[in-house]
Structure 1
Amino acid sequence: MKTLYKIQTLVVLVIASLSFAQQTPGDKQTKDIAIVNATAHLGNGEVIENSVITFSNGKITNVADATVVKMDMSNMEVIDASGKHVYPGFIVANGTLGLVEVDAVKASNDLSEMGAYNPHIRSIIAYNAESKIAESMRPNGVLLGQVVPRGGRISGTSSVVQYDAWNWEDATVKNDEGIHINWPSSFSRGRWWLGEDPALKPNKDYGKQVMELEDFFNGAKAYGKGSKSERHLPFEAMAGLFNGAKNIYIHVDDEKGITDAVNFAKEQGISGITIVGGYQAGNVASFLKQNNVSVFLRRVHTRPELEDDDYDLPFKLAKTLVDAGVVVALEPSGQMERMNSRNLPFYAGTTVAHGLTKAQALQLITQNPAKIMGIDDMYGTLEVGKSATLFISEGDALDMRTNQVTHAFIDGRNLSLETHQTELWKRYNKKINGED
């Protein structure tokens, strides 16, 4: 009995510790702000070497060349960013930030739901706006992200949030913007623990699994057209795919799967199609371009999967797709994906080392994900009328050696860049230097 009590007490303490998380969200902007003398990277391919950017009530009011435009700044808070760089806030695609805090604590894990077909599961209502992990993205310039559920054949719906909020309602930028599908794998490995050959071989159930998915889609369309004596929540959630209100995100890596998935979505009358992962997307780049299919490209910092793949395939795949005219954004999924999200700008930097220009690489984590998610009217680039969601860095934000963020703003609110990790760094730095 005493042992049970100790375990219960420990669990309560761990869960309680999760509540002491995020800094208080920034105050609403009340005074106009001007950032002057910085190199402005607009996110749309343009760069202004000596810029002036002003914003009022959370909206950008001027983006101009400081050597050409003169304006009265006497009533503004002026930030002199000489020698520094200004960027639009980076956007994480296909992320799970805020859905899991501590993997070992089940009460803090809202990553997936039971069952195979869950289009009605809304990730946004499980989003923890006070996550210590989400908070730790901001010092690298990662200010917005897509919250995506995992598991099943149809995982659920994703939403887009900004990382400075009291709760999920305040955090929401776009609600229920897409449905995520895990496409059946055309290849599988034998279960070695059952004595089966672990070699890669064609999935004998592939056709059956695709047919089950097709039956579900057909059922959803029939439900939408018929009389509804009883509500069917999964089918109701699918309606947005057929009327264009929601994107479809298809998680698939192999060439055959990508082709089959795109053809399937087109046959179902779905227009907004994005491939997530896309390891072999380079093999069908022209096909993706012809069908206006975008790609959330898998984590750049990975190794080749097949023996005959180029050693640098994951690094140069973004360039292959961009050169073909495909709209590409980067995503961090994989082992430790929630922590990998903070490295998003450095993934983009790696694509520069393998062929893209810095302006093109920046678009992979700003303009392109905003365009795919349908939030580009307000986010993703530094333009007049858009949200003042941006940051100032000491150096090149795509370079881990020089990306030192000094100021960050979301909708004009000046953010705290303090995190649990910076607090620990300061604490132990004092100890090391003998200041305690």
Structure 2
Amino acid sequence: MRLGSSWRSFQWLALAGFSLALTLGAEAQQKLDIAPRATVAIRDARLVTVSGETIERGTLVIRDGRIAAIGASAPIPAGAQILDGKGLTVYPGMIDAGTSLGLVEIPAVAATVDQGEVGDYNPNARALVAINPHSAHVRVTRYNGITNVATMPDGGVICGQATFINLYGTSPQEMAVVPSLGLVVNFPRLNVGGGGPFAAFRQPPPANIAEAIAARNRRVEELRQVLREAADYGRAKAAAASDPKIPRPATNVVYESLLPTLRGETPVFFRADRAQDIRAVLAFAEDMGLRPIIVGGNEAWVCAAELKAKNVPVILTGVLDLPNREDDPYDVLYENAAKLHQAGVRFCISTGDNGAHVRDLPYHAGMAAAFGLDPKVALRAVTLSAAEVLGVSDRVGSLEVGKMANVVVADGDLLEPRTRVKYAFIDGRPAQLTSRHTELYEQFKERK
């Protein structure tokens, strides 16, 4: 938070070139470091709703943190601050559905990494409590039009609870939209080695395929046993609640954290890339009565028919990755999204990054569009489709009346690298579009 003598008087928090200015007292500024909600009308702009038709010239009104009106002739409330949108395009803020943003600052410095817990089974670990709202990655990401991310823990088999946040706020609680979004599981995979640029650094595979399969099956059975024990714990609690004569089981935080998932209230984010592991996840989830979401999905196109039949969505995190195998075509992952769309599989696109490169989300979608995915579907894959996969499409992901005013205004196609986001609103608050990158540019732009 920026403090000092310059903050003892009223400050105008203005977006560059933006006539919208908001006055805050010094005491309020020191406490919040975020602008208050404003009533704003973005007039004469191109409005890309995503959920419906694009309005070539219209008005969008933001009031009380929500989208209050949108249309070619939407009424502007008295006292609203007007933003001239001529030549600009309004989009819903982008969503990265599979990151660790806020949990990792500098991967090589252990003190700045809070991505996972010790041990294999930590469903009670909550990503929200570990998020650093002042991470440099937040401002860098927001600058590029991303307003929301799903942040997921890592480590072990059951990693913990993911969270869905706004990229604006001074504390994790202020940023939280859905504090506990779902359970994150690193599904035990078949370790048979393989090529790739880092093959020499991987743990060596078992001596033969039979041993590899046996090792994977043991880990899967351990996971199944933990879930069964949690289900038994839940039934014992329910029985004790209905009959005072039945002793109540001792509270177990691990099992307690699994109960919403076992009741089907929250999904399970299974990390899996290879087709054989994805198919194993589908069988496991069906057997245990879980709501699976595949995270990764590099070979999801191989088993698209099964994913479609079981209505299991995929969060693609490898669009810009190198192929998994040496003899794969160079564009196999670039085309993954297009193949899933053609097969009718629900999916969205994510960077899968731990922070620094979440800002590149639009370019992942842009690459998919360059390799067969319809550009409108590509934009949807980082907005409304991401919201639908995460179960938050009633709040974010499109420009619709009543939804949270997470809105960005850009000077071109949002998926193009040359496009610049001019203004951004998160929860109806004008967000400062500065970052460490812009600060360094201003510091050194005159240097010769």
TM-score normalized with structure 1 length: 0.87
Shift of 1:50: 1.3
Aligned 8 A contact 1:303 1:314 in 2: yes
Aligned 8 A contact 1:274 1:296 in 2: yes
In structure 2, the residue matched to 1:154 is 158
Which letter does structure 1 place at the counterpart of 2:284?
Answer: F
**Pairing of 1:256-275 with structure 2 (within 5 A):** 256-270=276-290, 272-275=291-294
Shift of 1:25: 3.9
Aligned residue-pair number = 403
In structure 2, the residue matched to 1:60 is 67
CA distance in structure 1 between the aligned counterparts of 2:322 and 2:149, rounded to whole angstroms: 25
In structure 2, the residue matched to 1:17 is none
Q: Given the alignment, which residue of 229, 242, 245 partners 2:262?
A: 242
Which secondary structure does the structure 2 equivalent of 1:430 belong to?
A: coil
Aligned 8 A contact 2:34 2:170 in 1: no
Which letter does structure 1 place at the counterpart of 2:308?
Answer: K
Residues 72/393 of structure 1: CA separation in 2 closer, same or farther (3 Å cut): closer
In structure 2, the residue matched to 1:291 is 310
Say what the alpha-carbon RMSD is for the aligned residues. Answer: 2.3
Aligned 8 A contact 1:46 1:359 in 2: no
CA distance in structure 2 between the aligned counterparts of 1:115 and 1:289, rounded to whole angstroms: 34
Q: Which whole-Å deviations, capped at 9, do the CAs of 1:207-260 have from their partners, x for residues lacking one?
A: 211111111111111111115432211111111112222110110111121111
In structure 2, the residue matched to 1:422 is 438
**Pairing of 1:27-66 with structure 2 (within 5 A):** 27-30=35-38, 32-44=39-51, 46-65=53-72
In structure 1, the residue matched to 2:384 is 367
**Pairing of 1:167-182 with structure 2 (within 5 A):** 167-182=171-186
In structure 1, the residue matched to 2:405 is 388
Structure 1 portions without partners, runs of 5+: 1-21
Which letter does structure 1 place at the counterpart of 2:335?
Answer: K
Which secondary structure does the structure 1 equivalent of 2:90 belong to?
A: strand
CA distance in structure 2 between the aligned counterparts of 1:220 and 1:195, rounded to whole angstroms: 32
Shift of 1:277: 0.5
Percent identical among aligned pairs is 31
Which letter does structure 1 place at the counterpart of 2:184?
Answer: H
Aligned 8 A contact 2:278 2:294 in 1: yes
Which letter does structure 1 place at the counterpart of 2:362?
Answer: P
In the alignment, structure 1 residue 302 sits paired with structure 2 residue 321: yes
CA distance in structure 1 between the aligned counterparts of 2:203 and 2:255, rounded to whole angstroms: 40
Structure 2 portions without partners, runs of 5+: 1-29, 238-247
Q: Which whole-Å deviations, capped at 9, do the CAs of 1:373-424 have from their partners, x for residues lacking one?
A: 22111111100011111111111110002x2011000011011111122111
Which letter does structure 1 place at the counterpart of 2:35?
Answer: D
In structure 2, the residue matched to 1:123 is 127
**Pairing of 1:6-405 with structure 2 (within 5 A):** 25-30=33-38, 32-44=39-51, 46-65=53-72, 69=73, 71-72=75-76, 75-189=79-193, 201=209, 203-204=212-213, 205-227=215-237, 228-270=248-290, 272-333=291-352, 337-401=354-418, 403-405=419-421
Which secondary structure does the structure 2 equivalent of 1:421 belong to?
A: helix
CA distance in structure 2 between the aligned counterparts of 1:223 and 1:49, rounded to whole angstroms: 56
CA distance in structure 2 between the aligned counterparts of 1:195 and 1:428, rounded to whole angstroms: 44
Shift of 1:308: 3.5
Which letter does structure 2 place at the counterpart of 1:366?
Answer: T
CA distance in structure 2 between the aligned counterparts of 1:80 and 1:195, rounded to whole angstroms: 57
